Amino acid sequence: MSDKTPKNRSKNIWTPLLLALVMIIGLVGGFYLNKLTGNKRDFATILDRNDRLEEMIDIISEKYVDSISSDSLYNDAINGILSHLDPHTSYIPAKDLDAVNAALGGNFTGLGMEYQFVNDTPMVSLISPNSPSFFGGIETGDMILKVNDTTVAGVQMSKRELVTRVRKWGGNQVMLSIYRPIEQKSLTIKLTRADVEISSIDAAFMLDKETGYIRVKRFAANTYDEFIKQLKELKESGMKRLILDLRGNGGGFLEAATEIADEFISGNKLLVYTYGSKIGRENYNAYRTGIFENGRLIILVDEGSASASEILAGAVQDWDRGVIIGRDTYGKGLVQEQFEMGDGAAMRITIARYYTPVGRSIQKSYNEGREKYFWDKAQQLSDTNAVDKTTKFFTSENNRPVYGGGGIRPDVIVSKFEEAYSSVLSQIITDPKLDDFIYSYFAHNPKIFKSFGSFQDFDATLDFKGDFGKQLDAVCNSISPMYRSIVKTRPAELRLLQNYVKATLARIMFNNDGFYNVMNRSDKVLKRAYEVISTDEYSKIIGGNSIKPAEGL
C-alpha cells in the first residue's frame, strides 16, 4: 500500500493540470478558428435562409395570379443581393458565360469570319488570320448562298441569326456554297470548326519612318504575346517612338496590362498594387528588361478606357515614362474574381482595389448607387468631370502633380467637342444605309477592287469622282436633305465623310490596318499626339511643364 500511495498522489496532481491545458488549447484554438471563419455563416443559418428563399419562390409559383418563371425570380433575387454591393460585382447566367469567357480567354470555336448583308445576302467582310476560313480559301467579298443545305441568301435572315446558326450547326464540318463576285464564279468550300483566336490588336503599323502605332482593344489571355510580336516587328521597321492607342479599351486581365507595362518601365519598379481587406496587399513589379524602355511613348485614352487600360496608363504616368493624351478615363479601379456556380453560371465578386505606383485609387465613387453610377458614366463627356482634383499625388521621377479617384487625367486633354461631328454628319455616318451602300458597291464592282494590288495602290487611286461619287451623294441625300449644305459650304466635313467611306472599304480589302491607316487622317487626338511626340513639347511635359486644359474644361 505504502508503495502505491506516492504514485496515486502524483496522478491526482497531474490530472487537473492536463485538463487545464486541454481547456486552454481548446479556447485558443477556438479563438483562432472563429477568427478564420468569422466571416462565414454556420451551416444551419445557410440552410434556414435558403429554405426561406425556396419557400417564397414555391408559394409565388403555385399561388400567384399570373404565370411567372422560377428562373426569373431567382435571377431577380440574385440581382437584388448584388445591388447592395459595388457596380462591378456581377452575376453571369450560364447561357452567357461561354461568350464572356471567350472574349477574355482570347479564342472561340468557329470559322473565323464576319458578315455584312448586301441586298439580303451575307457577304464576308472580315476574315480572322490563321482561322478555318483563312486556310479554307474564303475571301472578303464572297457572297454566302447556303450553309450546308440551308439557304441563307434572300430569306430575310438577320446577321445575329446567321452567326448563331453557323456556330451551332450540327457537327464540326460546315459546307458553304458561295458566289465570288471578283472572279464571277460559284464555289463550294468545306470548313472544319476550330479554335479561332480573337485578336487583341486592332492595328499596328508605322506612321512615319520613326513613329509606330499600335491600337489595343482589350486585355485578354493572349494580348501580351500579340503585343510583343507587333512591337518587335515595328522596331525592326525602324520604330524609335510609339503611340499606343487604348481608347475604347474596357480592360480585362490585370496581368496582361502589367506585362506590357514591364516592356516600357525599367528595373524592378512597382507597376500597380492591389489591396483587399480579406486578401491583403499584392505588388506587381517590373521584373524583366523590356524591349522599349527607351524612346518616346504616348498613350491615348478616353472615357472608354477602363480597368487594365487605366493600370497601364497610370504606371506610365506615375513613372514619367510617357505622355498620356486624350480625355479622362472611365474610373474602374476594382479587381474581380470569378466563382463558378453549380448550374453553370458564375459570379464575379470584387475582392480588392488597385492602386497606381504612387498610391492613386482610380475608382470613381459609387456611393449614390449603381443606377446613378452607370448613368453618370453614360452621360460623361470626360473632358474633366470624372477625376477628383482634390486628391493630388506627385509622379515618382519628376514630381509632377497627378490626381486620383475617378480615372486617369491625361497630361494633354483633347476635348470631346473638338472631335464631335455635326449633327447632320453624325446622322449620315450612323445610318445603316451608308454601310449598306459601301458593302454593296464593293460587291458589285469586283473589277475595280481587283485592280488594286496593294493598300498604296488603293489609297492613291480610289477617289470620289465619277459614278462612285454620284452614288454616294444620292445615298447621303436620301438620309438627310441637309447633306447638300455639307457639300456646298463645309468641305472639312465632306472630307470626314469620304474618309469614313474609304476607310470602310480599306477594312474589307486590308483588314483593320487598312481601316486605321485611313481613319487616322481625320483623328484629332492622334494628330495632337503626333505633334507632341515629334517636338520639344514632349520633353517639357515629362519634365513637369504639362499643357493645361483650356479654362472651363
**In this structure, how many other beta carbons lie within 10 angstroms of the beta carbon of residue 242?**
23
Ramachandran category for residue 141: left, alpha or beta (phi over 0 → left; psi -120 to 50 → alpha): left
346 with 234, same domain?
yes
360 with 477, same domain?
no
Q: Is residue 464 part of a domain?
A: yes
Q: What is the CATH number of the domain that holds 298?
A: 3.90.226.10
206 SS3 class: strand
Q: Find how far residue 462's CA is from the centre of its chain.
A: 33
284 with 309, same domain?
yes
pLDDT of 548 reads 44
272 SS3 class: strand
Q: Is residue 218 part of a domain?
A: yes
Q: Which residues pair with 110 in a beta bridge?
A: 194
- Cα separation, 396 vs 394, in Å, equals 7
Q: What is the pTM of this model?
A: 0.81
435 with 363, same domain?
no
What cell was used for 254?
490585370
Domain span at 453: 423-522
Q: Which residues pair with 361 in a beta bridge?
A: 355
Listed in sequence order, the residues at least 6 apart from 360 whose beta carbon sits closer than 8 Å to its beta carbon are: 314, 318, 391, 393, 402, 403, 404, 405
Q: Is residue 12 part of a domain?
A: no
- Cα separation, 106 vs 198, in Å, equals 5
Q: Is residue 119 part of a domain?
A: yes
**Of 153, 178, 197, at which residue does a domain stop?**
197
**Of 197, 217, 243, at which residue does a domain stop?**
197
SS (H, E, C) 92-108: ECHHHHHHHHHHHHCEE
What cell was used for 263?
516592356
207 with 192, same domain?
no
272 with 405, same domain?
yes
477 with 338, same domain?
no
- Cα separation, 209 vs 241, in Å, equals 10
227 with 136, same domain?
no
What cell was used for 515?
481601316
Run of H or E including 436: helix 432-444
**Of 197, 222, 244, at which residue does a domain stop?**
197
- Cα separation, 407 vs 181, in Å, equals 49
188 with 231, same domain?
no
Number of domain units in the chain: 3
Q: Is residue 45 part of a domain?
A: no
**Chunked mean pLDDT (size 10), the chain, 553 residues:** 40 48 46 45 52 78 80 79 84 81 71 86 88 90 88 84 70 87 88 86 95 96 95 98 96 94 97 94 96 97 94 97 94 89 86 94 80 62 53 91 87 81 89 92 88 92 92 96 91 92 93 92 94 97 62 31
- Cα separation, 34 vs 220, in Å, equals 39
Cα dihedral sign, 543-545-547-548: positive
- Cα separation, 385 vs 388, in Å, equals 8
- Cα separation, 73 vs 69, in Å, equals 7
512 SS3 class: helix
What cell was used for 178?
458561295
- Polymer length of the chain: 553
Cell 486541454 appears where? 22
- Cα separation, 145 vs 185, in Å, equals 12
280 with 348, same domain?
yes
pLDDT of 45 reads 55
Q: What is the CATH number of the domain that holds 183?
A: 2.30.42.10
CB-based contact 473:483 (threshold 8 Å) = yes
Listed in sequence order, the residues at least 6 apart from 501 whose beta carbon sits closer than 8 Å to its beta carbon are: 434, 438, 464, 472
Q: Is residue 101 part of a domain?
A: no
What cell was used for 422?
455635326
Q: Is residue 527 part of a domain?
A: no
308 with 161, same domain?
no
Q: Is residue 302 part of a domain?
A: yes
Q: Which residues pair with 243 in a beta bridge?
A: 213, 298
484 with 465, same domain?
yes
Q: In degrees to the nearest 10, what's the CA dihedral of 428, 429, 433, 438?
A: 130
DSSP letter for each residue of 139-189: -TTPEEEEETTEE-SSS---HHHHHHHHHHSSSSEEEEEEEETTTTEEEEE
What cell was used for 375?
448613368
pLDDT of 551 reads 33
Which segments within 262-311 are labelled E, that is strand?
270-276, 280-285, 297-301
